[in-house]
Structure 1
Amino acid sequence: MLCSACEFKFKPNEEADAVPLTVQRYDRLQSRYLTTGDFSALQQMNTDYPIETRTLIEKMLQLGTITDANISNRFLMFYQDSTLQSLIADAEAMYANMDDINEQLKKSFGRLHDWLPELQQPYFYAQIGALDQSIVVGEHSVGISLDKYLGPEYPLYKKFYTAQQRATMQREYIVPDCLTFYLLSIYPMKDFDTRPQLDRDLHMGKIMWTVNKALGKDILDTKYVKTIQAYVKRNPKITVKELLEDEDYSPIERCIRTNQQDKD
């Protein structure tokens, strides 16, 4: 799985106006409040980023409701752990500049829009999630937890994650993860819980194949991505939109059997 080292949750549906495709630096306000206790930073978080703050406190950290009388102090105290303070400092240092990520997002969504004109551009923001979910997806928003992308050799990661998990916990996977989970929210598999495992794997393969195509490089490499690549090669007229919207996996399964027979 792409995000074996992380979970993803969907925020309640909310509307988002079209905004420039640039990651909003919510994390900087968060860092200021959590490292210095600057109350003006907290006020700005609540004023400028109310949904992001509610999602972080209530859904991710589960510290209580945003209306609790002492929630701001509980939020501040939670991050006073020395490990979390180090995470904040390291994430802010590593991601002082995110121009490369902004550029990748612009190019990738430009390609996606060519294939899927109705796809709405989401709003992106960065946060420090205390090693919770890497990506948080709302109806039209994508939150990036920078503390989950500090590199496979980051000392703290070695205590909690396998080498396979750590391999994707680095900068180059931020944009692929954003695209993957946003597309999954737009193209969910119907009756997911009752579908055969192969169908689930092929659905993820279609999403990942599309992400690779949008990125212009094959960063996501699983056998199911390769299966979709083989299927598209055999069916060159199929569009990205048709591929993502098709709920019938039997043609792809036939392709798998045909490829196996060719090898035999």
Structure 2
Amino acid sequence: MNFKIFLTFLMTVCFCSCNGQNTNANNITDATPMPVNRFDKALYELICSDDTTLNQQLLNQYPQMTEILGKGILNMQSPDLPGFFTKLENFYSEPTLKKLYADAIAKYESVTEMEQSLGNAFAWVHEKFPAMQIPALYMHISGLNQNVLVGDSLLSISIDKYMGQDYPLYQDFFYDYQLRKMQPSHIVPDYVAGWLMSEYPFTGKENVLLDRMVYEGKIKYLVLSALPDMSPAQLFGYTDEAWEWCKNNEANLWKAIVERKHLYTPDQMATTKYFEDMPAQFLASDAPGNIGSWVGLQIILKYMNETNATPEALMKNENAQDILTLSKYKP
């Protein structure tokens, strides 16, 4: 395999009830389907053809998406630069990547059911955040590079990340805990999370664990509210046993975080470990990955239960300590 693989995973999400039902859970089931613009298909046609007129056709049909893809994947600032389309075709013509591209197009030939799920989810987002602009949705192929591309009122997901955990190419590059999230079922939540994160970017201190926990918890609470039928363990990439382990050891996890003084101490290296996909063995031998996000969600669930805040009010409160205090979180 010659082309270099990178991976930019969007953190996935989990959900559990806390002292009752989530009163913000989405009950919309018959919204207008949300169309997905198939930029991936148009680009594949160009790659497989010797017809250079398709270059301009792609640019005319998908001007913003072509530019964003060029910047995010080819590191080229504009499609107007000399050699842009030559570099584009050379990148995607690498045999292994081209095979991956073809397999992804075949797997996602139809996305009708997905468009209905997206319609329901974004109808909920619009209901809870009426002033928020809802994006146009696209699909692309990145060679397992940029999973999410965001532009002005545009959001695209790289479908080659979601080929299923048994896809042969994945076996040489990813661990089981990563493969559990490389499923078609993760596309819709990743669309929703990607847009929420673009509309409400992280404003805290990147090296402070509490700030990261609360922010990740917010996003995950909203995504699972929008998608209430999703399995918590599936969304988080956990086995059922790992999920139960977290619930059974919640008090011990919190005690370890506090005793190690990780919650407030600015430490980029320590904080980063809490959000990695690999098992958090630095905390406990059986701990799964992304424990920081898991604990963050528990804090937000308690906060919403204690305050009855609206989703919009939740996102407007950027004070992580205030949220922790009001949540009365003491597992």
User: CA shift at 1:38, angstroms?
Assistant: 3.3
1:102 and 2:102 equivalent?
A: no
1:232 aligns with 2:304: yes
Q: Number of aligned residue pairs: give it.
A: 244
Other-structure match for 1:246: 317
Output the TM-score relative to the length of structure 2.
Answer: 0.68
Answer yes or no: is 1:217 the counterpart of 2:229.
yes
Q: 1:12 corresponds to which residue?
A: none
Which 10-residue stretch deviates more, 245-254 or 177-186? Answer: 245-254
Q: Which amino acid aligns with 1:212?
A: L
- 141, 152, 165: which one aligns with 1:128: 141
Out of 30, 44, 48, the position equivalent to 2:61 is 48
Q: Percent identity?
A: 30
Gaps of at least 5 residues in structure 2 are: 1-5, 11-32, 237-293
The answer for the alignment partner of 2:16 in structure 1 is none
SS class of match (1:58): helix
* Deviation sequence 1:182-202 (CA, Å, 0-9, x none): 1111111224436x2221121
The answer to whether residue 118 in structure 2 is matched with residue 139 in structure 1 is: no
After TM superposition, the structure 1 stretch with the greater mean CA deviation from structure 2, 160-169 or 239-248, is 160-169
User: What is the CA distance between 1:5 and its match in structure 2?
Assistant: 4.7
Shift of 1:31: 0.6
Is 1:69 matched with 2:82?
A: yes
Give the aligned residue type for 2:318. E
Q: 1:156 to 1:255 in 2, by over 3 A?
A: farther
Residues 82 and 96 of structure 1, relative CA distance in 2, 3 Å threshold = same
**1:34 and 2:47 equivalent?**
yes
Structure 2 distance, partners of 1:259, 1:69, is 60
Deviation at 1:150, TM superposition (A): 0.8
TM-score under structure 1 normalisation? 0.84
Q: Secondary structure at the match of 1:193?
A: coil
**How big is the alpha-carbon RMSD for the aligned residues of Structure 1 and Structure 2?**
2.2
> Compared with structure 1, are the counterparts of its residues 133 and 80 closer, same or farther at alpha carbon in structure 2 (3 Å cutoff)?
same
Query: Please, which of 6, 9, 30 is the counterpart of residue 8 of structure 2?
Result: 6
CA contact (8 A) 1:64 1:71 kept: no
2:173 equivalent to 1:160: yes
Residues 100-130 of structure 1 show CA distances to partners (whole Å, capped at 9, x for unaligned) of: 1111111001111111111111011111112
SS class of match (1:151): coil
Q: 1: distance between equivalents of 2:320 and 2:71?
A: 38
> After superposition, what is the alpha-carbon deviation per residue over 1:78-98, rounded to whole angstroms, capped at 9, x for unaligned?
222110111111011000001
Amino acid at match of 2:302: A
Cα distance in structure 2, aligned partners of 1:154 and 1:85: 15
